Amino acid sequence: MRIAMWSGPRNLSTAMMYSFGARSDFAVMDEPFYAAYLARSGALHPMRDDILKHHETDPDKAALACAKAGSPHLYMKHMPHHMLDGFPMEWAADCVNIHLIRHPARVIASYAAKREAPTLEDIGFRQQAELYGRIGGLIIDSTDIRADPEGMLRDLCRAIDLVFDPAMLHWPEGPRPEDGVWAAHWYGAVHRSTGFAQAEGPLPKVDAQSEAVLAQALPYYQMLSANKLSRPC
């Protein structure tokens, strides 16, 4: 099984990668198209030079790596906005495609703490909605996972015909060998964790500068949320 987990930034995506990486039957990949995206787009992200130096910048070679089998399974953490026009997507046809979402107010507040004034393009909601329209797949909400990690992970595993492994609920503190070099900037909180954080509280308020971005992102989130995997009542 090859799982392609698609999400925007600040979306529980690294914790989910660590969760699947804690299983003995999964290899994991951390954003294999990130360097290619930076090289092609020219985007000025934190640690840009280090990322370009240490990771694959050729999207065709990144796609070949994504097409390989795991041990016996492979989990790939992807971001839809990394998949620029012309980047190969054929490798995803045989994947179990899952879309991880989070309310944009939470994403914006978390992103702004690491990089000022995120734009709609930075947080990837438009690209994620468009990708879901193209390839389909399952949708899960990070808020639901944090509210009931074991229950939601059991439901997710059942939905993709994978045996649940309790090892998914815990991982060792600290960085992982599979981390991208960008982990030094973005992964501080998850490196201090040994499992999923507690349930989230009320939605945060975004600053005035980000209100327009929130208004733009919200319809995409609402469309995706309407189709998400939910716990049985």
Residue range 29-55: mean pLDDT, rounded: 96
Give the pLDDT score at 36. 98
DSSP-assigned letter for residue 74:
E
Identify whether the C-beta of residue 19 lies closer than 8 Å to the C-beta of residue 171. yes
Token pair in block for residue 175:
């960085």
Give the pLDDT score at 74. 96
Closest listed residue to residue 101, CA positions, set 27, 16, 20: 16
Identify whether the C-beta of residue 90 lies closer than 8 Å to the C-beta of residue 135. no
Identify whether the C-beta of residue 103 lies closer than 8 Å to the C-beta of residue 7. no
pTM score of the predicted model: 0.94
Q: How far apart are CA 7 and CA 128, in angstroms?
A: 7
Give the pLDDT score at 61. 97
Interval 7-31: pLDDT, tens: 998 889 999 999 999 999 999 999 9
Query: pLDDT averaged over the chain?
Result: 94
Cβ-defined contacts of 193-200 (< 8 Å, 24+): 193/15, 194/170, 195/149, 195/169, 195/170, 195/171, 196/12, 196/15, 196/19, 196/145, 196/146, 196/149, 196/169, 197/15, 197/146, 198/146, 199/143, 199/146, 199/147, 200/106, 200/143, 200/146, 200/147
Q: Tell me phi and psi for residue 224, to 5 degrees.
A: -65, -40
**Domain definitions of the chain by residue range:** 2-225
Tell me which residue has tokens 């909180």: 189
Interval 98-126: pLDDT, tens: 999 999 999 998 887 766 678 998 889 99
In percent, how much of the chain has pLDDT > 90? Answer: 84
DSSP-assigned letter for residue 195:
B
Give the pLDDT score at 115. 64
CATH code for the domain defined by 2-225: 3.40.50.300
Identify whether the C-beta of residue 107 lies closer than 8 Å to the C-beta of residue 10. yes
Which one is predicted more confidently, 116 or 220?
220
Q: Count other C-beta atoms under 10 Å from residue 93's C-beta.
A: 9
